[in-house]
Amino acid sequence: MKPMNLQLRKMSLIEYLLGVQDEKAFAKIESTILKSLKNIKPNDIVFTKKDLIQRAEFSNNQIKKGHVLTQKEMEDQSKNW
């Protein structure tokens, strides 16, 4: 699979997750992701310059759409990490 297609799929998945309203469905998705992340080592994660630019552009688009958290909301979420 081409890396660009993978990046687009990731972005689409993130947008999908932002729209999930069902707590049970989200919890199941979250659990699956967290289990799979346990197998990933920090050295396995590498970002190219292009990756970082795409991530920044995606973030800017999310901000423009209003998909943001307040500082308090972020602090509350981080308590569960």
Give the pLDDT confidence of 41-81 residue by residue, as tens digits: 777 678 889 889 999 999 999 999 999 988 998 888 888 77
Confidence at 1, pLDDT banded by 50, 70, 90: very low
Confidence at 26, pLDDT banded by 50, 70, 90: very high
71 touches 65 (CB < 8 A): no
Q: Which residues of 49-68 are buried (b: 16+ CB within 10 A; e: fewer)?
A: eeeeebeeeeeeeeeeeeee
Q: What is the pTM of this model?
A: 0.43
Confidence at 4, pLDDT banded by 50, 70, 90: low
31 touches 78 (CB < 8 A): no
Residue 32 pLDDT > 80: yes
CA 49 to chain centre: 18
The span from the CA of 48 to the CA of 3, in Å, is: 11
